[in-house]
Amino acid sequence: MTFANPPKSPGFYPAGGLNVASYDLRAELDRKLFDDPLPFYRDLALKSGGPVLELGCGTGRISAEIAQNGIEVEGLDLSDAMLAIARRKHPALTFHHADMCDFDLGCRFALIIIPFRGLQEIVTAQGQRVALARAFAHLIPGGRLVFDLIDPDLRYCLPEGDAEIVALPLFPMPENLGSVAGNKLRITAMERTNNPLTQQFSEHWRFEEITPNGKVLHREDNWHHMRWVHRAEMALMLELCGFVSISEYSGFNFELPRYAANQVWMAQRPL
């Protein structure tokens, strides 16, 4: 594996904090409240026959599900902290520490996936296109790239941002943090700022360990920087990278495209 440049900062996922430690808890809640992408990506992996590469694999949840169904899979992520969890939970799998905009694994895959809006973690249009090109280079002829994005609701993309504060349900404190029994984790989505010119937004997230009576013992603040992508823009990016048979949906059951829903994309490297 070679890199043209060293991996960049992991940004929203720093080591040693409540954010990374609670990621799987939040992902499980997301699966229950919204469309569950895990069966969708697992089934695509089974149909492909493998091997599969997951870009932005995080803690390895989807890679592990694919591997449990007998398909060869590897994961790649920029965050050392997330990969440490992936390697601890799934020691038999191969995980690469790399930037999805700048990697060369020296092999090709039948299927490459970017779940959980991972492409939007790249905050420039140029960077997103480069990531698509790197995925294209790692596909076998006829191999497919599949990923999902948030389709932007433009009411919430205005320059004034969004000052609404949303508290998630209380979580148990993650293991291995040395917390006192009975303490809870409170996660709050704070304000959001937008830059319509660059299609970038930043969400302020607060993580707090609290006692049963509500006293805050520890607080961490992280900012999640992402970039929204319009459907026409993404279709053009894929075409420019050489993909064919480009399909778009609004959900993981192949629903027709719909405004302000998910974007689910499937594209193929030519034979």
Residue written as token pair 């390697």: 87
* 6 pLDDT higher than 60: no
Helices 61-68 + 38-48 axis angle, to 10: 50
In the prediction, which pLDDT does 181 show?
Answer: 78
CA gap 73, 205 in Å, rounded: 32
* 8 pLDDT higher than 70: no
Residue pair 91/70 in contact by the 8 Å Cβ criterion: no
Task: Assess whether the previous peptide bond of 10 is cis (omega < 30° from 0).
Answer: no
Residue pair 129/237 in contact by the 8 Å Cβ criterion: yes
Q: Tell me, what amino acid is at 2?
A: T
DSSP annotation of 99 reads: B
CA gap 117, 70 in Å, rounded: 25
In the prediction, which pLDDT does 10 show?
Answer: 45
* 54 pLDDT higher than 90: yes
In the prediction, which pLDDT does 11 show?
Answer: 64
Average pLDDT of the segment spanning 36-53 = 97
Which carries the bigger pLDDT value, residue 110 or residue 163? 110
Least confident stretch, 17-26, 175-184, 187-196, 199-208: 175-184
pTM exceeds 0.85: yes
**Of 241, 8, 235, which Cα lies nearest the Cα of 123?**
8
* 119 pLDDT higher than 70: yes
pLDDT in tens, 143-196: 999 999 999 999 999 999 999 999 999 998 887 676 677 899 999 999 999 999
Tell me the pLDDT band of 3, cut-offs 50, 70 and 90: very low
- For the chain, give the percent of residues with pLDDT over 90: 82
Alpha carbons within 13 A on the beta-carbon side of 259: 3
**Of 42, 44, 45, 21, which Cα lies nearest the Cα of 31?**
42
